[in-house]
Structure 1
């Protein structure tokens, strides 16, 4: 089949690669001038476990009520309108069900897809000898005894999801991450020995090279103006380009979906990353550390360190950066790994990106209401973690094959009657 993909982020390139492996003729259209220029450019790269990040999945991460009480963690919550409040109410309802053990399936579905993606990434790494600065082993630092109790009660749930984890002491934290600051309050931490992080942009570029070797055509700097149903094609600068199938991997850019009447109950959330060179390898992080109370991750990426933080509701990537958020990130880097990072370096990189989130925390992967138009979008904070699994599953669906895992929870139509 002659298949078009709109969007050359991690999801789009992963989908192109899987479809090309199945023998399809694939063309990728990207409005930016290169791959991984939008939400895939500089996120944290936290691969697993998925359910701990800010607004990851209802009942998985920090409770929404706690986020709303702290304007440093969730910006814009005092200025939101009715549609956003409806979205937050849906999230909170699912969160309440999960806390009463009425609906913990969402976290399990997310973790199952993440585990499937992990197995596919490992296979790609072996076959093509690519690693993209992959690091293993995560610490989630808990500052207070109350947070230790909170997570001790949830360890069984994580283990039920197939996530190896343990509660470790402050002394064990220092052994695992010798560069940790000595003055910070550490009541304990969650240790995930199989947790992984990666450089998302580098990984995407390596996948692009593989895809192009299989004949995938990538057209950067091309904005798709509209999707047409009959005949099926894409309108670009007044011309129609016909295709047998179209896959929309457009992330936070939902105008093409809306143009053909697809309305996902989504929320755009912006976040920040700061990437700086390592000053002293012995004082820098070895892998990835999350400050649970501050909802911040610090990850080692080769000879650089990246910190991610901030969650701005209904904020676009091109809106002004919040300097207080950036200053908080600098302070946390200096506090957690003093002397480990060069924040004064001219190579310092500041990035703001927007991710799209649905009220159950799961992506939309599968057929749209229109024949031969497919969706692979709204991955929230998990684009890099879920990309391989979503791409392989969508390629199987498009070829009318059975998927390796049950993808029913991710069907784009699941909100139709909500």
Structure 2
């Protein structure tokens, strides 16, 4: 088939890869002038296959007043006169139940572990230069209560196919990651998963483009304005480059999917959750972590990318701009200085803000849309990088009519 993929971020590019591998003629449309320019540009860089618990979980209900009132909260919710935000928020709150959280956790875990196998296969076959590293992930907890709760969650996942983990004392955490010795924050203990990866998602996008550009047609600076439909199917795309026709249409353009699809009375409930990152270039004197580290108390993640350190954190609900919020950036910098006071970077960090395309359940839509030749690969939230290969392969399988390990009710 002649298939178009809307979006050239991490999801769109991996989707194009697996569709082209199936022998389809593939075109990718991207509104920017190159690949990976939006959410994929400077994300947290962690491929966290075992850390997929949805944001909507029971403890959220007690935290909500804090999120609404404290501008220093890791997740800050600003209420807007926006019907999309209200629909998203109400649905989100309705999902904050234990059995619902567990259901989505297990589906996401299964997809993430599939994604890991595909990432390793892809890295071996394509030899992508994207600072890919398999040194594991260490989660740091500031008290016994939070550590025990997290260990129970991971044990639940182990019984359903998740990886085994190590529970570490403070001393064992410092031995595993000496950069933490000088930390000014409380290190009570930690959990270590040895099979977690990290990589630079923007470099990954650039490398994928180099592998695809001779077999896939890319149209940059091309904004998709409307899906033209008739008799239950898409007949064409209305774009800034004119009207374009294909056999099948894949929407994989992150937060842009909401307005594109809503015109057809199909509400995917994709809402932008703003996040921030800092990228430090390290010096010879830097005391920086070698494995991925997560500061659970402040919800900040650290990922080593060669001679750089990517730091990411914050969730701002109700701010759909890509502008840097100086207060949030400065707060993130202070947390870095406290967690790794001897980082000694060679220069000030490069600051970035991006919009995560999130659904209330944290579970993406990877399926046929409301029209017969429309397919969706959207709504991955903070898990886009982690789930991209598994999502793309699943969508390619469904387009081809192949059996998969996922039921139609999953994704």
TM-score, length-scaled by structure 1:
0.89
CA RMSD in angstroms comes to 2.2
Q: Which runs of 5+ in 1 are unaligned?
A: 412-418
Per-residue displacement from partner, 1:291-347 (whole Å, max 9, x unpaired)? 1110110111111111111111132243x42222111211122222223242744xx
Shift of 1:262: 1.9
Q: Which runs of structure 2 are paired with 1:60-71 in the superposition (5 Å)?
A: 63=60, 65-66=62-63, 68-70=65-67, 71=70
Per-residue displacement from partner, 1:100-133 (whole Å, max 9, x unpaired)? xx65121010010011111011101111222521
Shift of 1:65: 3.2
CA contact (8 A) 1:246 1:373 kept: yes
CA contact (8 A) 2:132 2:197 kept: yes
Residue 385 of structure 2: aligned partner: 384
Change (3 A) 1:177 1:227: same
CA contact (8 A) 1:87 1:267 kept: yes
Residue 184 of structure 2: aligned partner: 183
Shift of 1:67: 5.9
Residue 335 of structure 1: aligned partner: 338
Residue 39 of structure 1: aligned partner: 39
Residue 203 of structure 2: aligned partner: 202
Change (3 A) 1:370 1:175: same
Greater mean deviation of Cα atoms: 368-377 or 174-183: 174-183
Task: Give 3-state SS (helix, strand or coil) of 1:375's partner.
Answer: strand
Task: Give 3-state SS (helix, strand or coil) of 2:391's partner.
Answer: helix
In structure 1, C-alpha distance between the alignment counterparts of 2:354 and 2:43, rounded to whole Å: 8
> 1:111 and 2:109 equivalent?
yes
Q: Which runs of 5+ in 2 are unaligned?
A: none
CA contact (8 A) 2:286 2:344 kept: no
In structure 1, C-alpha distance between the alignment counterparts of 2:62 and 2:36, rounded to whole Å: 33
TM-score, length-scaled by structure 2:
0.91
Change (3 A) 1:206 1:67: farther
Change (3 A) 1:204 1:238: closer
CA contact (8 A) 2:236 2:246 kept: yes
Q: Which runs of structure 2 are paired with 1:195-234 in the superposition (5 Å)?
A: 195-213=196-214, 215-230=215-230, 232-234=235-237
Shift of 1:408: 2.4
> 1:250 and 2:249 equivalent?
no
CA contact (8 A) 2:286 2:345 kept: no
Count of aligned pairs between the two proteins: 400
Shift of 1:87: 3.3
Residue 416 of structure 1: aligned partner: none
> 1:306 and 2:310 equivalent?
yes
CA contact (8 A) 2:278 2:352 kept: yes
Task: Give 3-state SS (helix, strand or coil) of 2:238's partner.
Answer: strand
Greater mean deviation of Cα atoms: 84-93 or 198-207: 84-93
Greater mean deviation of Cα atoms: 290-299 or 155-164: 155-164
In structure 1, C-alpha distance between the alignment counterparts of 2:30 and 2:62, rounded to whole Å: 38
Change (3 A) 1:341 1:377: farther
Q: Which runs of structure 2 are paired with 1:351-390 in the superposition (5 Å)?
A: 351-390=352-391
Shift of 1:359: 1.6
Task: Give 3-state SS (helix, strand or coil) of 1:95's partner.
Answer: coil
Shift of 1:97: 2.7
CA contact (8 A) 2:49 2:386 kept: no
Change (3 A) 1:341 1:64: farther
